Amino acid sequence: MRTELAPGPWLRLSALVAAGGTLLAVVSGAENLGTAHRLLAALVAPPLAALIVSAWYAHRRLVPAALAASALFAGAAAVPAPHAHSGLAAFALAALVIVVAESFRGERVPWGSWRDYVMLTKPRIMSLLLVTGFCGMIAGARGWPGTGLAVAAMSGLALACGGASALNHVLDRDIDPLMGKRTRSRPVASGRVAPSRALEFGLALSAFSFVLLASTVNVLTAVLALVGNLFYVLVYTRWLKRSTPQNIVIGGAAGAVPPLVGWAAATGHVGFAALLLFAIVFVWTPPHFWALALLIKDSYANARVPMLPVVRGERTTARQIVLYSLVLVGATLLPWGWGGAGPLYVVCALALGAVFVWLAERLRRDTTPRRATLLFHYSLLYLALLFAALAVDAVIG
């Protein structure tokens, strides 16, 4: 008789957090804590959702109890009568206790190296997202936002980015082996981490991001981070990437969310000035990514991913890079035109943009791997320096 495998540590952690949150919600409701009770109840939803999806994918025996807990918890939220409300919440807690107990049953298997889990979060990509988020936070606060707030906001943003990247590994595990050494050795594609474990990990990070940001920063920040996460995973990775050469143009919206997260963390709202920062990253993404796509065009073609160089050719892609680079320079001047940035930022934006356009034009004239590589690496430095200049300008201005 085949022994069923036990869930991984990330699913068990999601179950424990959901059960613990439900217990706190029951206690706070019994004590009539009002707003605190409602917040605690709301914070149960993300880990509960992560638990259900993880269980549905790989551990179906947990699904009935998890769905029952979800239905009972939703019923408690919908029923205002005190006794019925408390009773349904208590039954939801009991169902989650069953899930926690069941999650420790089964044959244990190695969950993989910690290095592989770090790789799942794509730390190099995350670092740039955190830079734009952090600088957006400083710009929104017009100075230092406070150490505690900065640590909480950036930790929550890091969890959201890492969770989205891990889920990207799961969804792309079929094409990663086809795209050469760059992706063939990724943890899921190479088989070092099972897809179910990576899924549990990505969902847990995404859920904990929402819990952390909503409880320590504000709900708007948590919602924005979650929206960016879901857009990257479901809209870009699951849909656009394999269906249209405009995938990165539209999908770039996901990478443009971190400045909004930082701004919302500092101010509690998202105004027009924050949307200008979003627009800068949104316009920067296509020329940045197309430079990379030129370098690995054959890999995308082999995996049948319709990136622009594959579908339209290198010359068209190079011309599009120049066009977007010119639009990018104009977009970087919008914060100054709106009155949200000073002379230091303008000088840096123009200088950095001039180099960007120059490199793009050189690539258009001679579309070689060397020039594509130079533009790609410069684009990373460009965005970091641009947002750093914005942050410094906000501090001294």
Please give the single-letter amino acid code of residue 218: N
pLDDT tens-digit readout, 243-277: 999 999 999 999 999 999 999 999 999 999 999 99
**Sequential DSSP letters for 243-306:** T-TTHHHHHHHHHTHHHHHHHHHHHSS--HHHHHHHHHHHHHHHHHHHHHHHHTHHHHHHTT--
- The span from the CA of 129 to the CA of 131, in Å, is 5
- Round to whole Å and give the CA distance between 364 and 367: 6
User: Considering the chain, what percentage of its residues have pLDDT values greater than 70?
Assistant: 99
Per residue in 23-32, pLDDT (tens digit) is 988 888 777 7
pLDDT band at residue 3 using 50, 70 and 90 as cut-offs: low
Cβ neighbours of residue 61 closer than 8 Å, sequence gap 6 or more: 4, 102
Q: Where are the domains of the chain?
A: 9-103, 114-396
Our CA angle for 219, 166, 230, nearest 5°, is 40
Rg, the chain, Cα only: 23
Asked if the model's pLDDT at residue 132 lies above 90, the reply is: yes
Q: Name the least confident of 11-20, 39-48, 375-384.
A: 39-48
| The listed CATH number (2.60.40, 3.40.50, 1.10.600, 3.30.70) that belongs to domain 114-396 | 1.10.600
Q: Which of 157, 167, 229, 196 is nearest to 12 (CA)?
A: 196
At 41 the pLDDT is: 80
Instruction: Give residues with Cβ within 8 angstroms of 36, minimum separation 6.
Output: 28
Give 5's strand partners: 107
* pLDDT grade for 79, boundaries at 50, 70 and 90: confident
| Choice among 36-45, 47-56, 222-231, 285-294 with the minimum mean pLDDT | 36-45
| pLDDT at 87 (0 to 100) | 87
Tell me the residue length of the chain: 397
Determine the Cα–Cα distance for residues 336 and 137; give it in Å rounded to an integer. Answer: 17
